[in-house]
Amino acid sequence: MIQIDNLTVRFGQATAVKNASFQVAAGESFGLVGESGSGKSTVLRAVMGLVPDWSGSILVDGLDTRRTPRRNLIARVQMVFQDPYASLHPRYPVGEALAEVMRINRIPNSERRTVELLELIGLTAAHRFRFP
């Protein structure tokens, strides 16, 4: 679960995000939508610990991100960047990209789990061999 309360992010004198609050339950899909420059990526960077100047509260699985080492958060949260061409290697099959993350994090049955994840979002097992 991710819980954000009154998140404010500043860059110098400029306020990029002001008093954002929301929560995402475990297993829930969540989309953060807004105009260009509205602070969507900044909110996610704050969750990942990549923004130095912020106030409010960010909890990931009940862990306060200010007090939790970033390596412990990385295993719980993955950021999906807006530009898919910059995020996914064009010569790396989708299924292999998913399975690699699971292998790195020692999640068993990565091949089976890859198919389950693809089906969860409306794709088929055959999509794991496709390229981004």
Q: Could you state, in chain order, the average pLDDT of each consecutive group of 10 residues for the chain (132 residues)? A: 96 94 87 82 88 93 88 76 67 89 87 91 91 81
Q: How far apart are CA 61 and CA 58, in angstroms?
A: 10
Domains of the chain, each with CATH number or no CATH: 2-82 (3.40.50.300), 85-129 (no CATH)
The predicted model scores a pTM of 0.61
CA distances to 51, 68, 78, 101, 125 from 72, in Å: 17, 7, 12, 15, 31
User: C-alpha angle 104/107/111, rounded to 5°?
Assistant: 95
The whole-number pLDDT of residue 71 equals 80
Q: How far apart are CA 47 and CA 114, in angstroms?
A: 25
First to last CA, the chain: 28
